[in-house]
Structure formats: C-alpha cells, structure tokens
C-alpha cells in the first residue's frame, strides 16, 4: 500500500505538512495525492475511532450471518447492495463458508434489532436464513486496542 495511505489509516488527522516530512515529499504533492485518492474514491471518508463502551450510549450491535440465494443476474451483488442501504446496517461483507453475508447492525436495543431482522431483512426476496449474535464488549477495533496501553517503562537514557 502507498505509504501515504498507511499514514492516513493510522491517523487521518496527520497534517499534509507532517506527512510531507515523513515521506520526504513536497507539501503540495501530498495534498494533490490525497485529493486524487478522494476523487477516485479510494479514500471514502475520515472517522474517529471511539471506545463506545465508555460512552454508555445504550446501543446494541449485532453481528448477523445471512444466507442468500444468488440472483441469476448480478449474483450476490444486487441483494447485498439492497441490504447495505438500510441505515441500521453499519458494515456488510460477502463471505466464504457456511453463510454468505456478514452484517454489523446497530440499534437502540435488542427489540429494535430483532424487528429489523424479522421485518426488513428476513423478508427480502432471496434471503434464506439469518443468525443473529449480539456483541458484548469491544477489545480491539480497526487495529486499535480499547484498553489503555501501559506507560513507557524504558530507561530515559540508554546507550
């Protein structure tokens, strides 16, 4: 992957000036390349990574395995993008193995998620079955540990 993208993936707030220093580029070049990635749609957005457990949002997240029948035209894509458009659906992936789609669905409470599954998801033509699991706690999200790491224990000066 382009080093520039790696840096932004680690810290989307990194300034073009700093990135230029890290990659030994001109600031203008960094800005132009970021703009280009945004235009091409490689960069889809910038988000903060929250430890939601700390916020007491009273929300639940469910992981839902979905089996579907592929359509004659468009295979899995058509039905997947239909499901993806529901605002409840945070993420959706096509999977290999025992089921076809993996969804991350957020809702106010169990009931809300349950009714999304039974009323909206299960009723879509082509959905064969669903299996819902509720998430209990997040330990690591997008490569970031949710527990605070220990302090630097190294000697302050060493040879």
Partner 1 sequence: MKTSGSKSPREWVAGHVRDIPRSGIRDFFDIVSTMKDIISLGIGEPDFDTPWHVRESTVFSLERGATHYTSNLGLLELRKAVARYVNRFFKASYDPETEILVTVGVSEALDLALRALINPGDEVMYHEPCYVSYRADIIFAHGTPVVVETRAEDDFRLTREMLEKKVTPKTKLLLLNFPNNPTGATLPRKDVEEIAEFAKKHDLLVITDEIYAELTYDGEHVSIASIPGMKERTIFLHGFSKAWAMTGFRLGYACAPAELTEAMMKVHQYTMLCAPTMSQKAAIEALTNPEFDVTQMREEYHKRRNFLDRSFREMGLPCSKPRGAFYAFPNIGGMGLTSKEFALKLLDEEKVAAVPGNAFGDCGEGFLRCAYATSMDNIKEAMARMERFVKRLRK
Residue 51: CB atoms within 10 Å: 13
Please say which residue, 30 or 62, places its beta carbon nearer to partner 1.
30
CA trace torsion 129, 76, 94, 68 (10° rounding) = 10
Size of interface with partner 1, in residues (CB under 8 A): 16
- Beta bridge partners, 92, equal 103
Q: What is the tally of helices (H) and strands (E) in the chain? A: 5, 6
| Residue 22 is a binding residue for partner 1 (CB under 8 A) | yes
| Residue 156 is a binding residue for partner 1 (CB under 8 A) | yes
| Residue 27 is a binding residue for partner 1 (CB under 8 A) | no
| Residue 148 is a binding residue for partner 1 (CB under 8 A) | no
Q: Which residues bind partner 1 (CB under 8 A)?
A: 3, 6-7, 18, 20-24, 152, 154-159
């Amino acid at each position: 992957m382009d080093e520039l993208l790696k840096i932004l993936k680690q810290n989307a707030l990194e300034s073009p000036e700093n990135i230029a220093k890290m990659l030994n580029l001109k600031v203008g070049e960094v800005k132009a390349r970021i703009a280009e990635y945004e235009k091409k749609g490689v960069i889809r957005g910038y988000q903060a990574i929250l430890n939601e457990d700390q916020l007491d949002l009273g929300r639940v997240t469910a992981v839902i395995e979905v089996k579907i029948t592929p359509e004659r035209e468009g295979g899995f894509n058509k039905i997947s993008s239909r499901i993806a458009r529901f605002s409840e659906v945070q993420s959706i992936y096509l999977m290999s193995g025992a089921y076809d789609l993996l969804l991350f669905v957020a809702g106010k409470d169990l009931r809300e998620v349950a009714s999304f599954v039974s009323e909206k998801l299960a009723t879509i033509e082509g959905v064969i079955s669903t299996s819902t699991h509720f998430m209990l706690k997040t330990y690591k999200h997008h490569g970031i540990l949710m527990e605070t790491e220990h302090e630097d224990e190294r000697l302050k000066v060493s040879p």
